[in-house]
Amino acid sequence: MATVTATRYNPDIKAQYERLTGKGKSKMSALGAAMRKLVQICYGVIKNQQPYQPQVAVYPLVIGVERWYLLARRT
């Protein structure tokens, strides 16, 4: 259940899940990869004793990559 929620709200896991399903992987396969990534994130937080910092730009995921690209080209 945590992985399903992470595919909706965690920008790193959401980007990976969408990338894998976009390449034709099955949803269960992409969910398994997201599960592994979530465990790796948890391990890194515990090991380094630092809060989690997303590595993916959040803004393009919120408004959509195509629209973000068009906005970025204007400036």
| Tens-place pLDDT, residues 6-50 | 899 888 899 899 889 989 999 999 999 999 999 999 999 999 998
Q: What is the pLDDT of residue 69?
A: 52
Q: Distance between CA 27 and CA 8 in Å, rounded? A: 13
* Residue 53 pLDDT greater than 90, yes or no: no
Instruction: List CB contacts of 38: < 8 A, sequence separation 6 or more.
Output: 2, 3, 6, 10, 13
Q: Residue type at 1?
A: M
pLDDT of residue 31: 95
Q: What pLDDT is attached to residue 1? A: 83
pLDDT at 72 over 70: no
Q: What is the pTM of this model?
A: 0.69
Q: Containing H/E element for 13?
A: helix 11-22
